[in-house]
Amino acid sequence: MAKRNFLRPGPLVISALIAAVVIAALYLAIRKPPYQVDLAKVTQGPMTVTIDDEGETRVHDLFVVAAPINGRLTRIELEPGDPVIAGQTVVARMTPVDPDFLDPRTEARARAQVQALDAMVASSSMRIEQARAARDLAIQQQGRVEALFHKGFATRAALDSANASVSSARAAYSEATRATEATRFDRDAARANLVTPISPRGSRGTLNVRSPTSGTVMRVAQESEVTVAAGTPLVEIGDPRKLEIVTDLLSADAVRLRPGARVLIDNWGGAQPLNGRVRRIEPFGFTKISALGVEEQRVNVIIDIIDPPEKWTKLGHGFRVIIRAVEWESANAQQLPISSLFRDKGKWAVFAVQNGRARLVPVTIGRMNDEKAELLSGLKKGAVVILHPSEKISDHARVKAR
């Protein structure tokens, strides 16, 4: 039986195969794997740019009922949430202030003054008796002269003198009486200085302070019985169905808004944001120290809630909310995530993904909010971009989705 002859590879073929295997191994060893990245697409749809800040609710017309006089305030029985009627509901009652306690020196001085006035009253009483006697004598003398005048034994001058004496005596008696009354009044006033908080005062007048408007008691500033000065706030009254929101924006943000701008009211406690509208941007700014200790110029912006009260019945005066005032909005804007943007040679750029490789693409950006940026040119809808590109990624680098 004939033997078959098998062809064996020569030394050159074996060397070529070995070299190919070594080159392939080296290529695989030094080849960089593709970078894993997060990807997003360029989209088109509604976009809104807002100015966000904290706000506080407050009653639109809040009335502060204050003490009209100095006095002692009795305990206020009203509670927050109680209804009141203008001109009818008594919100507070005030009585005269109790007198102060007297120290020994002041008390001794007051008692001595009372004793001196007692003596003056007694002296004035004696003068009254003297004036009465002089008056009676003048009247008797005038009667005698008048009788003699009618009989022709006295002159007209004598009668006139007698009449003048009677008038003078009566005036002196009246003067003495009035002086005695005035001295008694001074003595009573001096005795009033001896009244102490434990002394009987008799009946005391009460002043009823009534509500100036109809509404609801929002807060009771002074609940317990206490002595207050005129002008001390007692009760705050308002209508909780008429709420507004005040927020102090940075002056640079406030100038970007206008009255009538739409506002979204968030984080107020409800499931859905409320709708509001800017009513007024105050023209007067003020300085406020931020939590970091930085001086900031702020401007109060007043916002009306335009949703019906049934949606926010649990909101009250002084509640915290987050307002998102709409500066700009579009119903069909081309946009991409702001996390894909970076600066390249002073301009905005992104890394777009094409055929598994990153491509550096300059883009033109319009409006921006916290999440999205308006894309004016550079890419089209549906283009894939890299989010948060690191320094390792460069133009034409191989990438794959994480």
Please say if the pLDDT value at position 89 is more than 50: yes
| 387 DSSP β-pair partners | 38
- pLDDT-derived band of residue 159, with 50, 70 and 90 as boundaries? confident
pLDDT for the residue numbered 6: 47
Residues 323-349: tens digit of each pLDDT: 999 999 999 999 999 999 999 989 999
Angle between helices 104-151 and 156-192 (to 10 degrees): 170
Residues 39-71: tens digit of each pLDDT: 999 999 999 999 999 999 999 889 999 999 998
Contact 230, 65 (CB under 8 A): no
Determine the average pLDDT of the residues in 233-257: 94
Residues 118-131: tens digit of each pLDDT: 888 888 888 889 88
pLDDT for the residue numbered 323: 96
Q: What is the DSSP string of 253-306?
A: HHTT--TT-EEEEESSSSSSPEEEEEEEEEEEEEEEE-TTS-EEEEEEEEEEE-
Determine the average pLDDT of the residues in 91-112: 84
Among 14-23, 194-203, 251-260, the minimum mean pLDDT is found in: 194-203
From the number of C-beta atoms within 10 Å of its C-beta (0-12, 13-18, 19+), residue 22 rates as exposed
Report the share of the chain in percent with pLDDT over 70.
Answer: 92
Please say if the pLDDT value at position 29 is more than 80: no
Mean of pLDDT over the chain: 88
pLDDT for the residue numbered 162: 86
Q: How far is residue 54's CA from residue 59's CA, in Å, rounded to a whole number?
A: 17
pLDDT for the residue numbered 240: 87
The better pLDDT of the pair 142, 19 is held by 142
Report the share of the chain in percent with pLDDT over 90.
Answer: 53
pLDDT for the residue numbered 198: 60
Q: Which amino acid is at 252?
A: A
DSSP code at position 116: H
Residues 4-24: tens digit of each pLDDT: 554 556 677 677 777 776 676
Q: How far is residue 33's CA from residue 399's CA, in Å, rounded to a whole number?
A: 8
pLDDT for the residue numbered 204: 61
Contact 240, 62 (CB under 8 A): no
Determine the average pLDDT of the residues in 297-305: 96
Establish how many alpha carbons lie within 13 A of residue 70's alpha carbon, considering only the half-sphere containing its beta carbon: 4
- pLDDT-derived band of residue 232, with 50, 70 and 90 as boundaries? very high
pLDDT for the residue numbered 385: 96
pLDDT for the residue numbered 104: 85
Backbone angles phi, psi at 228, to 5 degrees: -125, 155
Highest-confidence segment of 119-133, 173-187, 192-206, 274-288:
274-288
pTM of the model: 0.65
pLDDT for the residue numbered 85: 94
Determine the average pLDDT of the residues in 264-293: 93
| 375 DSSP β-pair partners | 365
Contact 298, 287 (CB under 8 A): yes
Among 19-28, 111-120, 228-237, the minimum mean pLDDT is found in: 19-28
